Amino acid sequence: IVMAEDDATLLRLYELEMSGWGLDAQLIKARDGFDALIRIGEARPDLLISDLNMPGMDGFRMVRTLRADPRYGNMAIIVISGLDPATIKSMGLPDDIPVFAKPVRFPELRARIERIFSDIDAAAARH
Protein backbone atom coordinates (compact mmCIF):
# COMPACT_ATOMS: atom_id res chain seq x y z
CA ILE A 1 0.00 0.00 0.00
CA VAL A 2 1.32 3.44 -0.90
CA MET A 3 -0.08 6.19 1.34
CA ALA A 4 0.24 9.76 0.02
CA GLU A 5 -0.37 12.42 2.68
CA ASP A 6 1.49 15.70 3.22
CA ASP A 7 0.55 15.97 6.92
CA ALA A 8 3.25 13.98 8.78
CA THR A 9 1.09 13.63 11.90
CA LEU A 10 -1.82 12.17 9.94
CA LEU A 11 0.50 9.88 8.03
CA ARG A 12 1.86 8.53 11.32
CA LEU A 13 -1.70 8.10 12.68
CA TYR A 14 -2.70 6.07 9.60
CA GLU A 15 0.45 3.99 9.93
CA LEU A 16 -0.17 3.23 13.61
CA GLU A 17 -3.85 2.42 13.08
CA MET A 18 -3.29 0.19 10.05
CA SER A 19 -0.41 -1.70 11.64
CA GLY A 20 -2.91 -3.22 14.08
CA TRP A 21 -5.23 -4.54 11.38
CA GLY A 22 -3.25 -7.65 10.52
CA LEU A 23 -3.16 -6.86 6.81
CA ASP A 24 -0.72 -8.83 4.70
CA ALA A 25 0.67 -5.59 3.28
CA GLN A 26 3.55 -3.18 3.66
CA LEU A 27 2.77 0.53 4.06
CA ILE A 28 4.97 2.81 1.98
CA LYS A 29 4.65 6.51 2.82
CA ALA A 30 4.80 9.39 0.35
CA ARG A 31 4.64 13.13 1.11
CA ASP A 32 2.94 14.28 -2.12
CA GLY A 33 1.74 13.07 -5.51
CA PHE A 34 5.16 13.16 -7.17
CA ASP A 35 6.75 11.20 -4.30
CA ALA A 36 3.85 8.72 -4.50
CA LEU A 37 4.40 8.17 -8.24
CA ILE A 38 8.06 7.37 -7.56
CA ARG A 39 7.11 4.91 -4.78
CA ILE A 40 4.45 3.31 -7.01
CA GLY A 41 7.01 2.84 -9.79
CA GLU A 42 9.42 1.21 -7.34
CA ALA A 43 7.00 -1.00 -5.42
CA ARG A 44 4.08 -1.64 -7.83
CA PRO A 45 1.56 -1.67 -4.96
CA ASP A 46 -1.92 -3.18 -5.06
CA LEU A 47 -3.44 -0.07 -3.49
CA LEU A 48 -2.90 3.69 -3.31
CA ILE A 49 -4.48 5.68 -0.48
CA SER A 50 -4.14 9.40 -1.09
CA ASP A 51 -5.04 12.86 0.06
CA LEU A 52 -6.04 15.24 -2.73
CA ASN A 53 -4.88 18.62 -1.47
CA MET A 54 -1.08 18.33 -1.33
CA PRO A 55 1.77 20.68 -2.29
CA GLY A 56 3.68 20.05 -5.48
CA MET A 57 1.71 17.44 -7.38
CA ASP A 58 -1.77 17.16 -5.89
CA GLY A 59 -3.84 13.99 -5.75
CA PHE A 60 -6.00 14.90 -8.74
CA ARG A 61 -3.02 15.19 -11.07
CA MET A 62 -1.43 12.05 -9.62
CA VAL A 63 -4.63 10.03 -10.21
CA ARG A 64 -4.91 11.33 -13.80
CA THR A 65 -1.27 10.33 -14.39
CA LEU A 66 -1.85 6.84 -13.02
CA ARG A 67 -5.07 6.28 -14.94
CA ALA A 68 -3.37 7.32 -18.20
CA ASP A 69 -0.64 4.69 -17.73
CA PRO A 70 -1.64 1.17 -18.85
CA ARG A 71 0.53 -0.38 -16.12
CA TYR A 72 -1.40 1.39 -13.35
CA GLY A 73 -4.75 2.27 -14.93
CA ASN A 74 -6.58 -0.42 -12.96
CA MET A 75 -4.74 0.00 -9.66
CA ALA A 76 -7.07 0.30 -6.67
CA ILE A 77 -7.22 3.84 -5.27
CA ILE A 78 -8.86 5.25 -2.15
CA VAL A 79 -9.01 8.98 -1.42
CA ILE A 80 -9.13 10.55 2.05
CA SER A 81 -9.83 14.27 1.76
CA GLY A 82 -10.94 17.31 3.66
CA LEU A 83 -12.35 18.85 0.48
CA ASP A 84 -16.13 18.95 0.12
CA PRO A 85 -17.69 16.36 -2.24
CA ALA A 86 -18.88 18.98 -4.77
CA THR A 87 -15.34 20.32 -5.16
CA ILE A 88 -13.95 16.81 -5.56
CA LYS A 89 -16.54 16.00 -8.22
CA SER A 90 -15.93 19.28 -10.08
CA MET A 91 -12.17 18.62 -10.14
CA GLY A 92 -12.73 15.42 -12.12
CA LEU A 93 -11.89 12.60 -9.73
CA PRO A 94 -13.09 9.39 -11.42
CA ASP A 95 -16.41 8.13 -10.04
CA ASP A 96 -15.03 4.65 -9.29
CA ILE A 97 -12.62 5.97 -6.65
CA PRO A 98 -14.08 5.85 -3.14
CA VAL A 99 -13.69 9.06 -1.13
CA PHE A 100 -13.53 9.16 2.66
CA ALA A 101 -13.93 12.46 4.49
CA LYS A 102 -11.34 13.66 7.00
CA PRO A 103 -11.24 12.75 9.79
CA VAL A 104 -11.54 9.24 8.39
CA ARG A 105 -13.64 6.65 10.18
CA PHE A 106 -11.11 3.83 10.53
CA PRO A 107 -13.62 0.92 10.66
CA GLU A 108 -15.06 2.04 7.29
CA LEU A 109 -11.60 2.49 5.78
CA ARG A 110 -10.53 -0.93 7.03
CA ALA A 111 -13.63 -2.58 5.57
CA ARG A 112 -12.96 -1.00 2.16
CA ILE A 113 -9.28 -2.01 2.18
CA GLU A 114 -10.15 -5.58 3.17
CA ARG A 115 -12.75 -5.73 0.35
CA ILE A 116 -10.15 -4.49 -2.16
CA PHE A 117 -7.62 -7.11 -1.05
CA SER A 118 -10.32 -9.81 -1.17
CA ASP A 119 -11.17 -8.78 -4.76
CA ILE A 120 -7.47 -8.82 -5.72
CA ASP A 121 -7.03 -12.30 -4.21
CA ALA A 122 -10.14 -13.57 -6.02
CA ALA A 123 -8.91 -12.16 -9.35
CA ALA A 124 -5.48 -13.75 -8.85
CA ALA A 125 -7.08 -17.12 -8.09
CA ARG A 126 -9.00 -16.97 -11.40
CA HIS A 127 -5.79 -16.49 -13.44
Q: What is the pLDDT of residue 76?
A: 97
Mean pLDDT, residues 2-14: 97
pLDDT tens for each residue of 18-67: 999 999 999 999 999 999 999 999 999 999 999 999 999 999 999 999 99
pLDDT 10s digits, 70-105: 999 999 999 999 999 999 999 999 999 999 999 999
CA distances from 54 to 28, 49, 109, 121 (A): 17, 13, 20, 31
Residues of the chain above pLDDT 90, percent: 96
pLDDT at 127 over 90: no
Measuring CA to CA, how many Å separate 11 from each of 5, 15, 39, 115, 118? 6, 6, 15, 22, 24
Q: 71: helix, coil or strand?
A: coil
* Residues in Cβ contact with 120 at an 8 Å cutoff, skipping those fewer than 6 apart: 46, 76
